[in-house]
Amino acid sequence: MTKLYSKKSTIILFILPAFILFVAILVAPIFASGYYSLFNWNGFGKKTFIGLENYRELFTSDSINFMKALGNAMLLAAFSVFIQLPISLGLALLLGRGGRKGERGFLSIYFIPVLISTVVIGQLWLKIYNPDYGVLNVALRAIGLEKWAKIWLGDEKTALGAAFVPILWQYVGYHMLLMYAGIKSVPPEYREAAMIDGAREGQVNRFIVIPMIKPIIKISTIFAVTGSLKSFDLIYVLTNGGPDHATEVPSTLMISMLFLRNRYGMGSTIAFLLIFLCFFFALLIGFAFRDKEVVA
């Protein structure tokens, strides 16, 4: 058995298909980005080697304002960890306890936004936010809160929040289903035993259920954070980074550098930094959760 499982050629055969695909499509571009980030290059003309100048410009230039984009992405990450995931967890706990009517129905409904294409979700929310006829402003006016009606995606003060809501909303169902599944697989005896000991429902959730689904929460957190750092599609459809960069995130900035402003070197610099940041946060979260798992 050990011999069978240590055979190098078999191991290679098993790992090779995934490995080749991975290297060709994912790893090679990382190196390419790292390399191009050292050049002043428009993507097709002459390359000029400029060392780390792109990195310096990225962090210091006002007209690029990378820190703003990065800050927005970090804010989104914070929102998804501290708002989106708790909502998911709350819903999952409410449904996962079992015995409520329509449990499966709710579960199915909550998953619907996940299944709708991002392009579609984007169009939908553009309509909801439409300053004149959008459902949101129409509703606010109808209940007499005229003052609260705003140009949601056009006002720098509200655009970022308005763009975040659909992003957070869309994936609540996904995280919820993961967590619900975890809660369902907590053996009912544990719950019963705690109840017999006089624990209230909240306490059962707090001390039995949540610790047991910690691995799932960890995965969800990694998703939420790296997903936020990489977020692109909805922002692209909703605001494309505007108004005046108020909703710019690193990915939209990267695309505009690569393909609108013809600054391929600078775009590669952003790509490279983004990969680094995502990897760093994934490790960090993994580390943070590892510590606590021992206790649980």
Partner 1 sequence: MAAPLRQKSTPVKEIIVYIILGIWALINLFPVYWMFTFSLKNNEEIFGDNVAGLPKHWLWSNYSEALKTGHMGQYFFNSIVIAVVTIAIVMIFAMMATFALTRMIWKARKTMNAFFMLGLTIPIHASIVPIFTTLSRLGMLDTYAALIIPYAAFSLAMGILICSGFMGDLPIDLDEAACIDGCGTWGIFFRIIVPLMKPAVATVSIYTFLQCWNELMFANIFCGNAHKTLPVGIRNLQGQYMTEWGPIGAALVLATFPTLLFYVFFSKKIQDSFIAGAIKG
Partner 2 sequence: MRKFKLMSLLLALVMIVSSITACGKDDGKTADGKTKLTMWCIATESDSNRHAYEEAIKEYQAAHPDVEFTWEATQNEEYKTKIKAAVASNEMPDIFFTWSCAFLGDFVDAGRVYCVDEVYKKYASELPAVMMGNVTYDGKYYGVPTTMNIVGMFCNMKILAEVGYNEVPGTYDELIECCDKLVAAGYIPFGCSGKETWCVTEYLESIIEKTAGATALNQIFAGKASWDNADVSKAVGIFQEMIDKGYFDPSGIALGNDEVKANFMAGKYAFYMNGTWNCADFAKSDIADSVKVAEFPVIDSSKSKLGELIGGPSDTLAVAASSKNAEVAAEAAFELGKAICHYGYLDGNGLPAWTPNYDTSSLNALTVAVADIVAKSSQMVLFGDTAMSADRANIYLDYVSKIYSSKINGEEFVNGLVKDIK
Residues in 119-148 that interact with partner 1 by CB under 8 A: 119-121, 123-124, 127, 130, 133-135, 138
Backbone angles phi, psi at 170, to 5 degrees: -60, -40
Taking CB under 8 A as the criterion, the residue among 155, 214, 219, 227 binding partner 2 is: 155
* Cβ within 8 Å of residue 139, ≥6 positions away: none
H or E stretch at 49? strand 48-49
Tokens of 245: 């960069």
- Given a contact cutoff of 8 angstroms between Cβ atoms, the answer to whether 218 and 206 are in contact is no
Taking CB under 8 A as the criterion, the residue among 2, 4, 6, 8 binding partner 2 is: 8
ω into 243 cis (within 30 of 0): yes
Alpha helices in 185-199 (DSSP H): 188-196
**Residue list 3-32, contact with partner 1 (CB under 8 A):** 4-8, 10-11, 14-15, 17-19, 21-22, 24-30, 32
3-state secondary structure of 185: coil
**Please, what is the minimum distance in Å from the beta carbon of residue 254 to partner 1?**
6
The whole-angstrom separation of Cα 224 and Cα 218 is 10
List the single partner that 242 binds among partner 2, partner 1, none, CB under 5 to 8 Å by kind: partner 2
**Please, what is the minimum distance in Å from the beta carbon of residue 21 to partner 2?**
12
Does residue 251 bind partner 1 (CB under 8 A)? yes
For 181-244, list the strands marked E by DSSP: none
Q: Which stretch binds partner 2 (CB under 8 A): 68-76, 174-182, 187-195, 258-266?
A: 258-266
Does residue 66 bind partner 2 (CB under 8 A)? no
**Please, what is the minimum distance in Å from the beta carbon of residue 63 to partner 2?**
5
**Please, what is the minimum distance in Å from the beta carbon of residue 243 to partner 1?**
21
**Residue list 261-280, contact with partner 2 (CB under 8 A):** 261-264
Q: Which of 42, 54, 76 is nearest to 232 (CA)?
A: 76
The structure tokens 């544990």 sit at 190
The structure tokens 């690029």 sit at 64
**Please, what is the minimum distance in Å from the beta carbon of residue 122 to partner 2?**
11
Q: Which stretches of the chain bind partner 2, using CB under 8 A?
A: 7-9, 12-13, 16, 20, 42-46, 62-63, 126, 129-132, 151-156, 239-240, 242-245, 255-256, 258-264
